[in-house]
Each structure stands twice: as C-alpha cells, then as structure tokens.
Chains A and B, each alone.
Chain A
Amino acid sequence: MGMIKKIINWSRLKSPWILHFNTGACNACDIEIIAALTPRYDLERFGVILKGTPRHADVLVCSGPVTRQIEDRLIRIYEQMAEPKFVVAVGTCACTGGVFGGCYNVKGGINSAIPVSAYIPGCPASPKAIIDGVVKLLKSLEESETKAAPAK
C-alpha cells in the first residue's frame, strides 16, 4: 500500500495541471501568468498544462481580489474541481485584497472565499515569481507527505 501511495504522490508532484481564473484582477497578473506559460519559460518541462475545465485541473491559479460579483462563481468553480485540489493566489490583490481591500464591492483576498495553499505577492507577480511559487507549493506537498508517511 505504501509503495502505491508513494507512486501516486510522485505522479501528483510531476503533473500539476492548472486552471487560470480571474477573480477581478486588473489583468496585469493575468498577462504575467500567460507569459509564464509561453515557450520562453516552457512550463511543460515540469508537466504543467493549462486546462480549460475545472474537472481536469489540480491547481486553481487565481488572480485579483474577490469581488462580491465573482464570489459565488469562484466557490462554484472550486467545488467543481476533483480532489485533491490546491489554490494558488497570484498577486498582492489575490493575497490580501491589496489596494482594493475594504472597497464596497470587494470581499478581500482569495482566502476570504476558499482555502489557499500558496501566496505569490507582487504587483504584478513576475513569471519567475509565479514559477517559484508553484515549485515551492509542490515542494511543501512533498515534505508534508514524507513527514506524514512514518506516522501512518
């Protein structure tokens, strides 16, 4: 059983498929996320593929503060994803609400609506920072799994 779990874990770390969702960003972070997916950075080296549907994706990459309009949709998309799933907040607004925090139409950061696994600050976060953030998320998963393994 342990061996099978290890193999599944390894495969999860090696093929994170992402879904990009704009929760009300000014588009700067979206452009940087798209830039990170271009041939110049070539994220397919790490098995990252951009998917169009939440059913296929493992990592939800959100940009921008959660507006009151988008909140229901964000939760719905999160619920449509298959387990195990992770959320990455890209940009200062996605982390805390940024300059829009406390606005009448803004609820706050992504974590005010759904649980977030990794935060990538920056206004906008550069492609290198985004890749670094995703790598750190995967590394933390690997460590938590290896730590959890002896306990079971």
Chain B
Amino acid sequence: MLASLIYILIFPGFAFLGVFGLFAEFFDRKLYARLQNRVGPPWFQPFADFIKLLGKEEIVPCDANPAMFTLVPVIALSTVVAAFLYIPLWNTTSLLSFNGDIIVILYLLTIPTLAFFIGGWYSSSLFARIGSVRAVTQLFAYEVPLFIGILSAALLANTWSLSEIMTFYNKSPVLALFNILGFGVSLIALLGKLEKVPFDIPEAETEIVAGAFTEYSGKFLALLRLTLDVEMVAGAALLAAVFLPFGLGANPVIGFIFFIAKVLFVIALITLLRTVFARLRIDQMISFCWKRMVPVAILQLLICLILKGVIQR
C-alpha cells in the first residue's frame, strides 16, 4: 500500500515526472533559443511559469460545461503519468509489466489528445473548437505511422511486452540498427502528438490564438502545460526504450544517467526538427503523413519481417 503510494506520488509518479517534465521543457526552450542565436530563458523558467499559473485566478466561461471543462486537465495529466509507469527506467523491468503493455502505453498516450479535444469542445469558444477539431483530425494522420513504427520493432522481438523487447535488443544490439527507419518515422509522428512546430496546427498561435487551450486559465492551464511536458518525457522515454536499448543492466546510478541522457537526446532531436521547419497546413500535414510516412513505416515493417525470417532460419 505504502509502496504503491510512493510509486504513484513520488518516484516514477507525479513528483519525479513533474520535475523532470519541467526540466525537459527548459531544455527544449533553451536549446531552441540557442539554435536561434538567442540567450534563452533561465533554468527556473518553467517552474516559475507553473507556480505563477497555479497562483492565478481560474475562469470558467459561462457557456462552457463546468464539469467537463475542469475535469479534462486532471484526466489528461493522470493518463500520461499512468503511461510512464509501464516504461522501464534503468534496467529492462518496468514497475508494471505484462504481455501487451506496449499497446497500453500507446493508447494511454493517445488519451490526452482526446482530452484536449473534449476540453476545447466544451469551452464553447470558436477558436477552441477549431483547435480541438484540428487536434483530432491530425490524430488520425500521425497515429498510424507511429503505431506501425513502434510495433514493427516489437514484431522483430516477437513479443508485445516492452520489458521483453528491451531484453531482446539488449542481447543483440546489432538488430536495433535495422529499426532506424522506424525511429525516424516515430520521431516525426511524436512531433504531431506533442503539437510541436511543423505539426502545431491545433494550437497555431498566429491563426487560432491558442487552439483548444484558448479559454483555459490559472491552474487548469498549468496542468495542461504540465501534461504536454510529461507527455514529451513519456514519448521520448518510449522511443528511447524501444529504439535505443543501450547501456542497460549496469548499476542503477549509471543506468539512470544513461536513461536521462537518452531521453534528452530524443528531446534534442525534437527541438532540432521544430527549429528547422515551419508550420504546415492541416491538409499538407495529413497528406505528408499518409503518403510519405506510412509507406516508410510499412517498409520498416517489411524489413523487420524479412529479418525475422532470416534470423529464424
């Protein structure tokens, strides 16, 4: 009982993920600023933003549905934190593990997008509604290549359990090199999931002010921002676990440093992509996902299938 409470509230749960998520946001913003030849924010910036938003007045618009409007940030944050419990940190065993947990992680990471849709829809603002419809529209575009990319790696390992996938690739790291296409596809799809720049169509601030978050203020906004940060960490940790299975099984301290380094590496790649590209239109984004990324993901699937046949012979 006490151990579960510590797991949920402190170590891989809310406290650790909150701090690590906010630190990841700082890392992302600082790197973004440095790549633009700016100085960038100080290290405490995301923490100051978060505390300030917690201390502000929260307004529920009179047209909004108060129950849905206030419940959505909590649901979104708790699902991403729950998803993180299934991801192994410094070794190949995660806190909770069963055969099929990789599917559960992917679905838990989908729920925040649906929560943003519901929150934006029920806030009854025109901008929020446009933003939330766009969020769901792009969900159908990036989700398929992301699933094919990650699950083809699982196919090669012949299991649906993340721990066993990591054990498999840790035993034969050369095979992980064949998943590089899947890594690229999943990374780009993750940009869509996190609503980062080439795919930040749902919250395009120059067109539709802040998308689904337009009417949110105070601590609801703080929780929504924290959700995106934790989702970034959880998504990066998932990609690191599936595609970068190196440095595992060493002692916990070195393993933990390796884990942080891998997650920050994935976040650095995301930041690099969002610095280099400009925002696409929603139709361009969907045709790019279906016409370019899905074929590459299917190619990855074929590579994995053929490789599997060769190994088994």
Chain A residues close to B by CB (< 8 Å): 7-8, 10-12, 14-15, 39, 42, 44-45, 47, 51-53, 55-56, 58, 80, 82-84
25 sample A-B contacts, Cβ–Cβ < 8 Å, listed by A number: A7-B51, A8-B55, A11-B47, A11-B48, A11-B52, A11-B55, A12-B52, A14-B44, A14-B48, A42-B39, A44-B33, A44-B39, A44-B40, A45-B40, A47-B42, A51-B210, A52-B209, A53-B127, A53-B210, A55-B59, A55-B215, A56-B210, A56-B213, A58-B52, A84-B57
Residue of B nearest to A57 (CB): B217
Residue of B nearest to A41 (CB): B38
Contacts of A80 in B (CB 8 A): 59
What DSSP secondary structure best describes chain B's contact surface? loop
The reply to whether A56 and B221 form a contact with Cβ atoms under 8 Å apart is yes
| A76 vs B225: C-alpha distance when bound (angstroms) | 26
The reply to whether B209 and A53 form a contact with Cβ atoms under 8 Å apart is yes
Contacts of A42 in B (CB 8 A): 33, 38-40
| A55 vs B216: C-alpha distance when bound (angstroms) | 7
Q: Which of B47, B58, B127, B206 makes the CB contact (< 8 A) with A82?
A: B58
| A80 vs B45: C-alpha distance when bound (angstroms) | 25
The reply to whether B41 and A82 form a contact with Cβ atoms under 8 Å apart is no
B255 within 8 A of A: no
Most buried by A among B29, B44, B206: B44
The reply to whether A82 and B38 form a contact with Cβ atoms under 8 Å apart is no
Contacts of A51 in B (CB 8 A): 205, 210
Residue of A nearest to B41 (CB): A44
The reply to whether A15 and B45 form a contact with Cβ atoms under 8 Å apart is yes
B218 within 8 A of A: yes
Residue of B nearest to A5 (CB): B55
The reply to whether B38 and A39 form a contact with Cβ atoms under 8 Å apart is yes
Most buried by A among B47, B51, B218: B51
| A32 vs B222: C-alpha distance when bound (angstroms) | 30
What DSSP secondary structure best describes chain A's contact surface? loop
The reply to whether B41 and A47 form a contact with Cβ atoms under 8 Å apart is yes
User: What is the number of contacts between chain A and chain B, taking CB atoms within 8 Å?
Assistant: 83
Sample of 10 more A-B contacts, CB < 8 Å, known A15-B52, A51-B205, A83-B57: A11-B47, A14-B44, A15-B45, A42-B40, A45-B41, A47-B42, A52-B206, A53-B209, A53-B214, A53-B215
Q: Mark B18-59, 1 if CB is under 8 A from A, else 0.
A: 000000000001000100111111101101111110111111
* Interface residues in B, total, Cβ within 8 A: 35
Residue of A nearest to B32 (CB): A44
Residue of A nearest to B214 (CB): A53
Contacts of A83 in B (CB 8 A): 56-57
| A58 vs B56: C-alpha distance when bound (angstroms) | 9
Going nearest first, the 7 A-B pairs with the smallest beta carbon separation are: A52-B209, A11-B51, A14-B48, A8-B55, A83-B57, A55-B217, A11-B52
Residue of A nearest to B210 (CB): A53
Using known A-B contacts A55-B217, A56-B221, A83-B57, determine if residue A47 contacts B210 with beta carbons closer than 8 Å: no
The reply to whether B214 and A15 form a contact with Cβ atoms under 8 Å apart is no
Contacts of B215 in A (CB 8 A): 53, 55
Q: Which of A8, A47, A52, A82 makes the CB contact (< 8 A) with B217?
A: A82
Distance in Å from the Cβ of B129 to the closest Cβ of chain A? 14
Contacts of B52 in A (CB 8 A): 8, 11-12, 14-15, 58
Contacts of A82 in B (CB 8 A): 56-59, 217-218
Using known A-B contacts A11-B55, A15-B45, determine if residue A45 contacts B39 with beta carbons closer than 8 Å: yes
Contacts of A15 in B (CB 8 A): 45, 48-49, 52
| A56 vs B45: C-alpha distance when bound (angstroms) | 16
Contacts of A45 in B (CB 8 A): 38-42
| A39 vs B32: C-alpha distance when bound (angstroms) | 11
Distance in Å from the Cβ of B120 to the closest Cβ of chain A? 12
Contacts of A8 in B (CB 8 A): 51-52, 54-55
Distance in Å from the Cβ of B31 to the closest Cβ of chain A? 13
Contacts of B36 in A (CB 8 A): 39
Q: Which of B183-236 contact A (CB under 8 A)?
A: 205-206, 209-210, 213-218, 221
